A and B are shown apart, each in its own frame.
Chain A
Amino acid sequence: MTSAPLEQRRRLRPSGGQDQVFRVVLRCAGAAVLVLMVMVGAFLFSKAIGALRIAGWSFLTTEEWEPDSHHFGIAAVLTGTILIAGVAISIAVPLATGMALYVSEYVPARLRRLLINMIDLMAAVPSVVYGLWGFAFLQGNVIGLARWLSTYFAWFPLFKVTGADPRDPLATETVYTSSTFIAGIVVALMVTPVICSIMREAFSQAPIGEREGAYALGATRWGMIRSVVIPFGKGGMIGGTMLGLGRALGETIAVYLIISPVFVIQPHVLQNGANSVSALIALRYGESGPVALSSLMAAGVSLFVLTLVVNFAAGSIVARSRSGAESEG
């Protein structure tokens, strides 16, 4: 009886030519994207440096924007951007939390899919449509709320409105239009679905065992949410909020349609007049002259750096809140 031939030792090398080509193509694509992205960043920074050299440190403290006379800075526009984003976030976070809790905890199962789709649709509605709505619909309808806030909460410095007399029934209402507040509401509607979908995902990952454990110990639904869902979803809540903040900081068209730009630091959110970096770029990009363009690049870069920091912080918080377990099959 002849013994069977010994099986040859297999080589654990990745298989031949096809795979080599595949890898090379993938690496080329990665490198192309990398080159493109780095080029965008490097170009913006290199152009911005010219303006920063002219303005020096006063770039951060000057409120006016007169690049032709070399007198410009982002103190007003950056403050305006942060104020608009702040208003947006303080409206969007309660809304998004409520909606995320509703979708993950309260809604009947057959409606859940529909609601998730509607939130996603809300994220896909173009920004110009939101801007149009804010400009043509909301502006006229929210003045009453703005007046009420400024009348009864004027002791809060942000809500003060100068030049308005609540006791005068004939006072003009234009002082309440085109304000940071209205732009903030519109931006809030745009970022709410972004925040909401991240929160919902985080909430739905709260483990079923802990949920049922809480119920078994006699918790009410809110008791269960407070002791299980929110602690598990806290990272997602913070991260989603910061991602929404990043979106809110960069929003252009809706803000541009609503505000009337002013180049002073305007801390009164209910009052006419606001500004933001992106609206400034949209307003002034056509100006001729290298300094004008370079100064806009510098403003754009400062906005980019701000959103970059916010996004990376958000990304690391979201990533830390996820356990890696669910990605393995």
Chain B
Amino acid sequence: MTTVPHLVPGVRPEPVEPEERRVTATVSSADVTIALGALIAGISATALIYYWLAPFSGALGFVVVSFFMFLAFYASLVWLDGDGPAVRDRLVGAIVHGLAALLLLALFCVVGFTLAKGYKALVHWNFFTQDLQLAGPLQPLTVGGALHAVVGTLEQIGLALIITVPLGLLCALFLSELRGGFTRFVRTVVEAMTALPSIVAGLFIYATVLLILGFDKSGFAASLAISVMMLPIMIRAADVVLRLVPGNLKEASLALGASRWKTVRTVVLPTARPGLATAIILATARGVGETSPVLLTAGYSAALNTDPFHGPQVSLPLATFTLIKSPQPNVVARGFGTAALLLGLVLILFIIARVAGGRGPQDLSPRQQRARARQSARDVSRFARHHPAPAPQPVLPGIELYPARLPAAVVVTSTTSVGTSTTRDEEQ
């Protein structure tokens, strides 16, 4: 007979020691100590080599040598109480952390350098309210500004958006909604055109609009060049977003009897809205910052020109590009100022894109949730009005099949379940 623990009433089983809770953290205090020790040892050894043993110099070299020294010390410390795989694991971890830090450092360096250098021009209020018409190369920074470039940038990108957003979104819808050989062909051509170097887009507009059609260099020509460059980028990004809309949502809508257009308007576009906003804004950021198409088509002027169709109109990247090539320090400072403005503009666009795209379609704000609840309640009353609940008619005497208000309840749950199913699909 197998031993079965006695569960005699009145006799308690022996108290079992409570199992000690295991530590599941992946980093132990010993790891931290080893890493810190290796870091200090690495820096000290490098300092020893640099200042006592060898005639080296330079901050960059110091950092690089320190890092390699750190790796060596770290590996040998881990080797003391680990085996080969552990050493390799820690080494790769340290290298990956180092590479990531290097990349972030480079990003901060680029952004910080531009902002720090541009600060000198940006602190003068006139930088935002004047153009460069009256500011000669030797004038101090208290005269002249970048208003003309800001206006030019906004008008050019605005015109480009008027062209690209409707065309781009419709074409992306075309690519994702319709099937067939023609669609495949258009998709291939659009993908090919994303490879078009931006300078070649500028060259195309320069050769056609300016040389063959005989228009002057103007803001409109620049916005055409930006459009040619932006359109494939936007179509491709929007197409990717639209294709992520779960097929079962679309099929559910079609199965309920909605037309294709209605499905697109009420299911596809709302679901893809944050992604589409992100696609448009990131393409805009790309278009705002691109210099090479503008260089060939916009022309340079130091004066404010609010008419994009006539006369040269400068934009922020082009002004930056032109100003920093000057030998005069004040002009160079203005160039850095325009670069910082451009960077700020891109940063604002980027933050808007993240705010717009950060919320998924199912992730509603409290206000949107209340609106959704009101809509749902309206639907319930509408359905109740159109299909007044029939008096329960017993199919068999004495058996009631379902409560009379069931249809309304079904409507409510189905509206909410669309949202939840989207959540699940987005997370996958």
Contacts and interface: CB of A to CB of B under 8 A. Distances in A.
A157 interface: no
Interface string B108-132: 0111011001000000000000000
Q: Which of A128, A137, A192, A301 has most B Cβ within 10 Å?
A: A128
Interface in A132-165: 132-133, 135-137, 141-142, 144-145, 148
Given A144-B61, A308-B192, A37 B232 contact: yes
B339 A128 contact: yes
Interface stretch (B5-13, B44-52, B88-96, B141-149): B88-96
B425 interface: yes
B235 interface: yes
Interface string A155-192: 00000000000000000000000000000000001001
Given A30-B174, A43-B207, A128-B339, A18 B261 contact: yes
A304 B350 contact: no
A315 B113 CA distance: 35
B260 A22 contact: yes
Interface in A23-68: 23, 25-27, 29-34, 36-38, 40-41, 43-44, 47
Contacts of A296: 203
A192 B103 contact: yes
A262 interface: no
Interface residues of A, number: 97
Contact of A29 (B111, B174, B343, B349): B174
A145 B107 CA distance: 20
B156 interface: no
Contact of A311 (B93, B98, B195, B421): B195
Contacts of A223: 85, 89
Nearest to B194: A311
Contacts of B173: 26, 29
A205 to B, nearest CB: 11
B373 interface: no
A296 B292 CA distance: 15
A257 interface: yes
The secondary-structure label for the interface of chain B is: helix
A225 B93 CA distance: 11
Interface residues on B, range: 35 or more
A285 B294 CA distance: 13
B273 interface: no
Contact of A102 (B99, B235, B342, B347): B99
B289 A126 contact: yes
A271 interface: no
Contacts of A40: 193, 196, 201, 204, 228
Contacts of A37: 189-190, 192-193, 231-232
A26 B96 contact: no
A258 B89 CA distance: 40
Interface string B255-268: 00001111010000
Contacts of B296: 282, 285
A97 B99 CA distance: 9
Nearest to A25: B170
B107 A122 contact: yes
Interface of B: 58, 60-61, 85-86, 88-89, 92-93, 95-100, 102-104, 106-107, 109-111, 113-114, 117, 167-168, 170-171, 173-175, 177-178, 182-183, 185-186, 189-201, 203-204, 206-208, 211, 228, 231-232, 235, 243-244, 246-249, 259-262, 264, 282, 285-286, 288-292, 295-296, 317, 320-321, 324, 335-336, 339, 342-343, 346-347, 349-350, 354, 421, 425, 428
